[in-house]
């Protein structure tokens, strides 16, 4: 009886959130943009992507989390990896310089 209960508890529900799958989708989206992904790892509960620019994106509790400009914490829904990739790419993209010469 105990073995049956233990096996039931360890399984992730089919409708449950999977951080590793969200990070895998984000990894694929980032491969097409400015922010090149370097490494990904995790479990169904917590996962992360490390980028070549030194930015780490964590995924847990149904959201992506990373440090934005000036040390702010940015969160984005994990069910929108393309939106998160667009935000990350715009944050990393080089900004055009404004000339002050007259």
Q: What is the pLDDT of residues 22-57, one digit of tens each?
A: 999 999 988 877 778 889 999 999 999 998 888 899
Residue 84: other Cβ atoms inside 10 A: 26
Residue 86 pLDDT > 70, yes or no? yes
Query: What's the pTM?
Result: 0.73
Sign of CA dihedral 16, 2, 43, 75: positive
């Amino acid at each position: 009886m105990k073995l049956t209960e233990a096996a039931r508890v360890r399984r992730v529900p089919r409708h449950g959130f999977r951080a590793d799958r969200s990070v895998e989708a984000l990894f694929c989206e980032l491969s097409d943009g400015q922010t090149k992904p370097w490494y990904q790892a995790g479990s169904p509960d917590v996962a992360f992507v490390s980028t070549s620019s030194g930015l780490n994106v964590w995924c847990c509790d149904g959201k992506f989390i990373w440090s934005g400009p000036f040390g702010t914490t940015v969160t984005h829904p994990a069910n929108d990896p393309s939106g998160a990739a667009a935000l990350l790419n715009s944050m990393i993209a080089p900004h055009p310089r404004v000339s002050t010469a007259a």
